[in-house]
Structure 1
């Protein structure tokens, strides 16, 4: 596992030499300084305009405001969870379909995957919001958001699963055949469990993508966190403060999911190397 990862890295990227590493270090330091400078200028500008006035921030500690944002957070988590519950198994089925030896099935699945991987999810949301009602097809606002999330995520997740299946050592197929398993049983009982373990960190990172996709709920007026933040701006008139609070909530959730993915990835590598 580790050897394959190192080989892939060497193929995709040239290892930098001493000069290259020094150049990367200098550029990294300059980038950090520029970012800190931009943040400092932004804070200075906010302070000059009174945006850092404590009175404009403590209002977000009020119970009714917290409950209002909490309702949006629950909507975001509900949409993300529902999309993941459907999209991930669907992505696995699509991956198996694309790997199928039945040419029409493989071609049809490939078309689905490439189409929804290439199209922005916003266009799919607008199709459910504007196009389908013109033909008499109306769905609840929750599903106007979740179904496009499922369609797009299932396509990208299918490629994750396909990569995981292809990453399983070919010797596993041969060993399964040697003990009398059919190709179907070999895939179901030998290959898939290993492939799922391999792609588990990537699936958690896919949750991060789904979480960000849920912000398009404001397009269909679904009460997710972004939409609640927009509504709160109209109530408080505090644009900067509201979106900073909303951004911090998103960053906290994404950071937690990313840490879980990294911890799982480290655990997988440790198991693969006998650590």
Structure 2
């Protein structure tokens, strides 16, 4: 049996694939066992190292750091999506006095590393007289500028991928360019590029951890603080395991919500089985030919 794209594997190929799959699982399990053994050998599972994280105050502080991470992510995610749409529309403008500056802005903020951008926001702007730049504002602003510029190219690619005939048909119906962009092109671009958009939002969530460099007290800041406690034998590994598990959990929840949203967007609308009369007072014919 064969498919359009490839031949179906035979018995030997199926057996070979199963053997390779088992070997892969064995290698992964062996690597995990080696890592756990080295941790146990170096005393990373000692009760004293983990006792720090059983204290209620420490747990509350970690949850507070997680809340700070999610707070920065929520604002940055919304701001990045809005900025990305605005930059994408501006870059697609037919007026060069709009598209050229927007293109320069997009490429500029895409090219600056996020850590440098945060440092400029927090340390550089106050030195030139800009006041009120807190770590939270610096982190959120940097995330919006960087990820918004990246998402602008994602939206632009999605809009370019839509068949040109759809916009031409909309213009033929008398719609303005703003209506064509907001009603027809952007919704389809978001639906098409949703996996890439969600992947970039996951990156945004993880990039909030860079904020600890400028003393933003998010989750990684708290992990680093408690991992360096010498009276508990500097539990860096336990702190990393706990903090990493919290990051992974947040990313998995975000990915699950993204899959749910994608399935909802890709679900075709239900079509009514009973035709709507085109003329007022008209009915539908039954199987006997009567109205």
TM norm structure 1? 0.82
Take 1:153 and 1:219, find their aligned partners in 2: how far apart are those partners?
19
Given the superposition, is the C-alpha separation of residues 28 and 217 from structure 1 closer, same or farther in structure 2, using an over 3 Å criterion? farther
Q: Is the 8 A contact 1:198 1:268 kept in 2?
A: no
Aligned counterpart for 2:239 among listed residues 233, 237, 242: 242
- Which residue of structure 2 aligns with residue 5 of structure 1? none
Deviation at 1:193, TM superposition (A): 2.8
What is the DSSP-based 3-state SS (H/G/I as helix, E as strand, rest coil) of the residue aligned with 1:271?
Answer: coil
Residues 1:251 and 2:245 are matched in the alignment: no
Residues 1:173 and 2:167 are matched in the alignment: yes
Given the superposition, is the C-alpha separation of residues 152 and 32 from structure 1 closer, same or farther in structure 2, using an over 3 Å criterion? farther
Q: Is the 8 A contact 2:118 2:142 kept in 1?
A: yes
RMSD: 2.8
- Which residue of structure 2 aligns with residue 119 of structure 1? 112
Aligned counterpart for 2:86 among listed residues 77, 80, 93: 93
Give the greater-gyration-radius structure (CA).
2
Given the superposition, is the C-alpha separation of residues 34 and 111 from structure 1 closer, same or farther in structure 2, using an over 3 Å criterion? farther
Residues 1:184 and 2:178 are matched in the alignment: yes
Deviation at 1:114, TM superposition (A): 1.9
Given the superposition, is the C-alpha separation of residues 144 and 16 from structure 1 closer, same or farther in structure 2, using an over 3 Å criterion? farther
Take 2:18 and 2:112, find their aligned partners in 1: how far apart are those partners?
37
Q: Which has the higher contact order (CA 8 A, sep 6+)?
A: 1
* Pairs within 5 Å for 1:138-217: 138=131, 139-217=133-211
Deviation at 1:29, TM superposition (A): 5.7
**CA deviation vs aligned residue, 1:126-167 (integer Å, no higher than 9, x gap):** 222333333233411111211111110110111121122223
Q: Is the 8 A contact 1:204 1:260 kept in 2?
A: no
TM norm structure 2? 0.78
Paired positions, count: 260
Aligned counterpart for 2:74 among listed residues 70, 75, 81: 81
The answer to which structure has the higher helix fraction is: 1
- Which residue of structure 1 aligns with residue 54 of structure 2? 61
